[in-house]
Structure 1
Amino acid sequence: MLKGESIVCLAAANWEGMWARAQQFMSIFARQGNRIIYVNPPITYLSPFKNPALRGQTRDCLRPASENIEIYTPPVILPFGGMYRAVNRINQRIIAAGLKRACRQLKFKPTIIWTYLPNTVDLILPEDATLVYDCADEHTAFPGLINKKTVARMEAELFDRAAASLASARELYRSKKDLAPRLAVIPNGADVEHFSRARQPGPAVPEELKDLPRPLIGYIGAVSDWFDQEMLRAAALAHPSWSLVLIGPVDTDTAGLKALPNVRLLGHRAYSGLPAYLSCFDVAVIPFKINELTLGVNPVKLYEYLAAGKPVVSTDLPEVRPFRPLVAIAGDPVEFVRKIEEELAADSAEKAAARMRAAELNSWEARAAAAVDMISRFRDGGGSAGKAKF
């Protein structure tokens, strides 16, 4: 357990977005009495052109989220920071200046800098704070305006400077361990209490699901470049009587799915309401493409689906394989459809209970405790935590 810490979390996802590792860890640490400044990822001047929803958003602002947690939203920064190191250094100075104002306003002296972003290696950090790099993605594999060599160099420097580093997946550990002698695998998990509500009496059926034909095949998560739309199309076309529901933000072309009458893309839904949606799923799916990015993914949704007791069909992700036979794995669209058919036919209360027991062994509380134990062991063992005071 962490006690009496002041943690700056440099996150890869907005606090208000899809809840995952950063929000879960920081919420647990806040409940333990630590103070948190959660820093939303900055946007560039080009971002609103790609995502119009970002236009007009308030930037460089501080607001309370819950007890012991403040959210800081940085100013708009320059594009191409992932391509050119000089640009990144300018951007990190802008972010550091805003953080300095936020810390001064809150009378907040950071004792831990917990980052998810390789580019924050150029952020001027307090030299007496502990730097933790929580590596949850293969950042060099993301599409967009990045130079892989530039990102790889920044990450290597961040690993070298961190007092402790975490990897959310075994593949990430294997690919990074030579860069990071103080590296440990801490997989993702689930808020078991929250998602187990899907098995309990009470959750009202969401209005948009009430009249859909059953069975209902569901997905919760981002619909992005790594999402295998062909898997879903195969299921929708093979079984026109099924309903396929996708819940989460969409940032890729989904015209092929939208054209199918039995597919619904509902967009982002509040974390608090997700158990009610999951309670309606007959089978939950993880249809990810297998590529450089997803080989290092430990899908949070896997643990959430299991906590809800739902049958799960996934593509062949390395981090999913250890959960067989609780999870069915498909290698192509034809097998994906067949596995869903089999899970629908063979589900039982006993199988649901086994899934929920597996989820209990993979709670966020257990993950946070393991992370804290690892950080405590390495905290005094070396690793510089910054270059200068704010």
Structure 2
Amino acid sequence: MSSRASVLVLGTADWNQPIATNQHYAVRELAREFDVTFVESTGLRRPELSRRDLGRILRRLGRVVGKKGPIESAHDARPVPDGVTVVSPLVIPWHVPPFTWINRLLMTRLVRAWSSGGASRMLWTYTPVTFGLERSVPTVYHCVDLLGSQAGISQSVVEKGERALARAGAVAGASSEAVSRHLRDVGFRRIEEWPNVADLEVFAAGATSSPRRPRAVFAGNLTESKVDFRLLAELLGAGIEVHLAGPISEGGGDSHRAVRDLERAGAIHHGMVGPQELADLLRSSTVGLIPYVINEYTRGVNPLKTYEYLAAGLAVVSTPVPAVVPDSVDVFVAATAEQLVARVRDLLPVPDEAAVDRRGAHASSHGWRDRGVRMRALVDELTTTI
């Protein structure tokens, strides 16, 4: 039997979600030393009557009821690291009584192999809905967003779960100062400051199939709850070439019309692209955009794309998201739309090699390699003290 620690990771996304998030990278890093079971989303966001959500439900049923194994061939789009088992849970996506008790029973049965493992065990969760699993093992709550402020997610369910985790003595990891303040208010006694980081090796400036040319790019989820589409339209109206990469309304809502309007105005939407294709797009552009609307949710966001952009040699221009720290050289925060458009225009020319190298150096200490070392050290600490 393996003597490695066994880590159960509760995710808020499916393994093959279009955009890789903290939980996907964290699983990869934890699996370098530990046996990891990743449980896909248990439906923290209430499902919508939409083709996207209905499709996810049907695929989940197909994997579980059809006995196709813990993952299906579609997951091949995101390789599963050695030492990782991906599990598709069949739970009811309403986390209130009487479904709470039913889901707890279903989850307990699902993770029976982990629960009965002989190795040191711990829970690493991205969702505050943990089915009581935190009561018997060391637990880390890696909080990368103010979940209760997201549309479609019950604030009361989030608050109840987070307070239960705090009472159980879970260690919290906070992605931003706003998240850290929230976790302190909830009652967590130990909070690790973990600002979001990027997969630097993928995005680092280097050879690309296309030369760098003056254009701005936004890579991420194109949803009106997060992205200021009017701001992007103003950039296009100013004659700036704008490229977009990423899914539309991943996680709820419907922003297809807003994206089509931008395309009619001249934006180029590349759709969902793989990591290498995205890296090529960034390395052939000059300005990376963080055009977020400012609301309760984005005040807690720490965009990992900041460091993806810098690693690829881009200047970064953002709306006033609190976690984006300007440096007056390569990262700029604009208070108004007019300032943002002017700053992007100023930064459009192709940078010299010294600027590209400087931006890469700026990003170099914000990568998953260093973060993984800290995460694995925390697992070692918690599992050797039980």
CA distance in structure 2 between the partners assigned to 1:99 and 1:379 by the alignment = 18
Percent of pairs identical after alignment?
23
Q: Structure 2 stretches of 5 or more lacking a match?
A: 72-78
What is the CA–CA distance in structure 2 between the aligned matches of 1:4 and 1:101, rounded to whole Å?
15
Secondary structure of the structure 2 residue equivalent to 1:119: coil
Question: 1:24 maps to which residue?
Answer: 25
**Structure 1 unmatched ranges of 5 or more:** 383-390
- Correspondence 1:274 to 2:278: yes
Q: 1:246 aligns with which of 244, 254, 261?
A: 244
In 1, the alpha carbon distance for the partners of 2:178 and 2:383 equals 24
* Alignment map for 1:47-196 (pairs within 5 Å): 47=47, 49-50=49-50, 51=52, 52-54=54-56, 56-57=58-59, 58-60=62-64, 61-63=69-71, 65-75=80-90, 77-81=91-95, 84-100=96-112, 111-120=121-130, 122-124=131-133, 127=136, 129-146=137-154, 148-178=155-185, 179-196=187-204
Matched, 1:200 2:206: yes
Question: Which of 336, 353, 358 pairs up with 2:340?
Answer: 336
State whether residues 233 and 265 of structure 2, in contact with CA within 8 Å, keep that contact through their aligned partners in structure 1: no
Post-superposition offset of 1:125:
5.4
Matches of 2:46 and 2:26 in 1, distance apart?
A: 30
1:62 partner SS? coil
| Structure-2 separation of matches of 1:375 and 1:103 | 17
With over 3 angstroms needed to count, the CA separation of the structure-2 counterparts of 1:111 and 1:44, relative to structure 1, is closer
**Offset at 1:21?**
1.3
Q: Deviations over 1:17-46 (max 9, x none)?
A: 2112111122122223x2111111034997
User: 1:386 aligns to what?
Assistant: none
Q: TM-score, normalised by structure 2?
A: 0.84
- State how many pairs are aligned: 360
Counterpart-to-counterpart distance in 1, 2:6 and 2:332: 42
How far is the alpha carbon of 1:108 from its aligned partner? 7.8
Among 314, 319, 342, the residue aligned to 2:318:
314
Q: 1:359 maps to which residue?
A: 363
Say whether the 8 Å CA contact 1:35–1:68 is kept in structure 2.
yes
Asked whether the 8 Å contact 1:44–1:78 carries over to 2, the reply is no
Partner AA of 1:246 in structure 2: L
Structure 1 residue 288: Cα displacement? 0.9
Q: Could you say if the C-alpha distance between residues 304 and 44 of structure 1 is closer, same or farther in structure 2, counting changes exceeding 3 Å?
A: closer
Residues 114 and 133 in structure 1, CA contact (< 8 A), matched pair in contact too: yes
Q: SS of 1:173's equivalent?
A: helix
What is residue 292 of structure 2 aligned with on the other side? 288
User: Is the contact made by 1:7 and 1:114 (CA closer than 8 Å) also made in structure 2?
Assistant: yes
Contact 1:89 1:123 in 2 (8 A): no
Instruction: Answer whether contact 1:30 1:69 (CA < 8 A) is retained.
Output: yes
Q: Which amino acid aligns with 2:94?
A: F
Deviations 1:127-182 (A, max 9, x none): 2x321111111011010152x23321221111221442111111111222241111
The offset of 1:102, in angstroms, is 7.5
**More contact order relative to length (CA 8 Å, sep ≥ 6):** 1
Q: Distance in 2 between matches of 1:296 and 1:14?
A: 22
Q: Is the contact made by 1:114 and 1:134 (CA closer than 8 Å) also made in structure 2?
A: yes
1:160 and 1:125, CA in 2 relative to 1: closer, same or farther beyond 3 A? closer
Q: TM-score, normalised by structure 1?
A: 0.83
> Residue deviations 1:225-247, cap 9 Å, x none?
111111111111221xx332211
Q: Residues 88 and 223 of structure 1: is their aligned pair in 2 closer, same or farther, counting only changes over 3 Å?
A: farther
SS of 2:49's equivalent in the other structure is: helix
Amino acid at match of 1:19: A
1:182-232 deviation line (CA, Å, top 9, x unaligned): 112111111211111xx212x335xxxx9xx96332111111211111111
Taking structure 1 as reference, are residues 345 and 44 closer, same or farther at Cα in structure 2, changes over 3 Å only? closer
Residue aligning to 1:385: none
Aligned AA (1:143): A
Give 3-state SS (helix, strand or coil) of 1:177's partner.
helix
Residue 9 of structure 1: aligned partner = 9
Q: What amino acid sits opposite 2:206 in the alignment?
A: Q
CA distance, structure 1, for counterparts of residue 55 and residue 346 of structure 2 = 40
